[in-house]
């Protein structure tokens, strides 16, 4: 090569490196962490409930971690065809369906106010300059134009009142005569931009993580209690909590939503900024396998332990610390049995002693009757002998050692 050409090229290469370096550094500055999330499932829509006519959805969610900017995630992961969404907004919720207009921002996707999400996909919005405080109510509003929807993607049990209204009114301060809904259709998560020390904790489980039988609109699920405690402690206030519970979910078989093994990548590994995992699954596998009336999908304790081990290994591959949570008492529930109780104790023993986990949370101890440890205490029991009441969820949230999240 001509020495002159080599000398002439050097300043050009150096200039490109100098120009390119700040661009790369700038892109790395944004650290996104989930502040709220939910686990989607499929909802066949043979009656055309969704997409029959243009409809505004205003879905209310509760943050865990705060941040100076935010973005939303919409989902069509279980859709059988493309999903079009128009005119989306994020806002601080005032009350009911009313939003704080001064703290409302329009959402765009690659600069556009409308997006068509392919079947099986999700969409992450552009960042918006809306500061979200920890533990605050947020409204995500969007318009679903009339379209053919064979199968919707939604979270069935929100334990939270949201709203719909006819037409395109997503930017309105309040919705006129809205219809109340208690699910979260097409909305999957909210992320915030936070400092690089911030991270998310995923609470992964079934209805007991989802918050079944807790008081609606009061955020009394055990992951909510954990989020409140984290924010009250200066050592952990940089952590968000993402509730990825699905009522009826099982480790090894599909039922309400895909099995834990099938949905793990979507609901845990793909979450923004996840660093910790609390794993509470198996009771539905056990209850149905050992149902005294109609057992089905029979599995053993060893099968369940192998499944939980797989989840831990997959999380560890991505640098996520895994904390097992012992199963809460279930004797007296409709599908309880002596054989099932033996399986509960085998799984709980593994959780307490396994070196495949980074630690454990003893939810069984937190909710059991001291005089009869195989049943929920009267204070913890919602009445069905399976799901905790608000007091039981509070005991679970308070049983978690916050030092697990300073390691």
| One domain, residues 347 and 396 | yes
Q: Does the pLDDT of residue 107 top 80, yes or no?
A: yes
CA-to-CA separations, 188 to 59, 193, 315, 342, in angstroms, rounded: 11, 17, 21, 37
User: Would you say residue 324 lies in a domain?
Assistant: yes
| One domain, residues 231 and 168 | no
| One domain, residues 258 and 342 | yes
| One domain, residues 161 and 231 | no
| One domain, residues 84 and 155 | yes
| One domain, residues 232 and 167 | no
Percent above pLDDT 70 for the chain:
93
User: Would you say residue 3 lies in a domain?
Assistant: no
215-254 tens-digit pLDDT? 999 999 999 999 999 999 999 999 999 999 999 999 999 9
Angle formed by the axes of helices 390-398 and 222-232, nearest 10°: 50
User: Would you say residue 202 lies in a domain?
Assistant: yes
127-146 tens-digit pLDDT? 999 999 999 999 999 999 99
CA-to-CA separations, 162 to 195, 244, 318, in angstroms, rounded: 31, 19, 34
Domain boundary among 155, 188, 221: 188
Domain boundary among 188, 203, 221: 188
- List the domain range (segments joined by +) for residue 146: 32-188
| One domain, residues 373 and 314 | yes
312-336 tens-digit pLDDT? 999 999 999 999 999 999 999 999 9
Q: Does the pLDDT of residue 8 top 80, yes or no?
A: no
Domain boundary among 160, 188, 216: 188
| One domain, residues 250 and 355 | yes
Q: CATH code at 381?
A: 3.40.50.1110
- pTM beyond 0.75: the answer is yes
For 212-235, the DSSP string reads TTSPTTS--SHHHHHHHHHHHSTT
pLDDT at 28: 54
Using DSSP, state whether 30 is helix, strand or coil.
coil
Number of domains in the chain: 2
> Kind and range of the H or E element at 85?
strand 83-95
| One domain, residues 125 and 234 | no
| One domain, residues 297 and 201 | yes
């Amino acid at each position: 090569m001509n020495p002159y050409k080599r000398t002439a090229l050097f300043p050009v290469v150096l200039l490109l490196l100098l120009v390119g370096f700040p661009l790369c550094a700038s892109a790395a500055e944004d650290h996104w962490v989930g502040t709220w999330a939910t686990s989607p499932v499929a909802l066949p829509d043979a009656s055309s409930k969704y997409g029959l006519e243009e409809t505004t959805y205003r879905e209310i969610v509760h943050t865990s971690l705060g941040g100076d900017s935010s973005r939303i995630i919409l989902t069509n992961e279980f859709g059988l065809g493309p999903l079009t969404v128009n005119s989306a907004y994020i806002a601080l919720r005032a009350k009911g369906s009313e939003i704080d207009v001064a703290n409302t921002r329009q959402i765009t996707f690659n600069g556009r106010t409308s997006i068509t999400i392919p079947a099986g996909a999700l969409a992450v919005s552009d960042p918006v300059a809306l500061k979200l405080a920890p533990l605050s109510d947020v409204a995500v509003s969007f318009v679903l134009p009339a379209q053919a929807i064979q199968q919707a993607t939604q979270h069935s049990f929100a334990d939270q009142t949201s709203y719909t209204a006819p037409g395109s009114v997503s930017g309105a301060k309040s919705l006129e005569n809205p219809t109340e809904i208690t699910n979260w259709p097409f909305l999957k998560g909210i992320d915030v931009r936070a400092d690089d020390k911030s991270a998310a904790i995923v609470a992964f489980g079934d209805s007991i993580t989802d918050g079944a039988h807790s008081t609606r609109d009061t955020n009394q699920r055990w992951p909510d209690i954990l989020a409140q405690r984290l924010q009250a402690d200066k050592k952990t206030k940089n952590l968000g909590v993402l509730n990825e519970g699905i009522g009826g979910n099982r480790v090894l078989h599909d039922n309400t939503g895909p099995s834990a093994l099938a949905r793990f990548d979507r609901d845990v590994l793909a979450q923004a900024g996840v660093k910790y995992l609390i794993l509470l699954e198996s009771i539905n596998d056990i209850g149905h396998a050992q149902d005294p009336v109609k057992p089905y999908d029979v599995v053993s304790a060893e099968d369940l332990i192998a499944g939980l081990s797989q989840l831990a290994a997959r999380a560890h591959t991505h640098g996520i610390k895994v904390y097992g949570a012992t199963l809460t008492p279930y004797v007296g529930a409709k599908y309880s049995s002596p054989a099932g109780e033996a399986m509960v104790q085998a799984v709980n023993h593994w959780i307490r002693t396994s070196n495949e986990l980074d630690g454990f949370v003893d939810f069984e101890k937190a909710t059991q009757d001291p005089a009869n440890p195989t049943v929920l205490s009267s204070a913890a029991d919602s009445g069905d002998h399976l799901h905790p009441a608000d007091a039981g969820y509070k005991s679970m949230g308070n049983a978690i050692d916050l030092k697990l999240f300073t390691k």
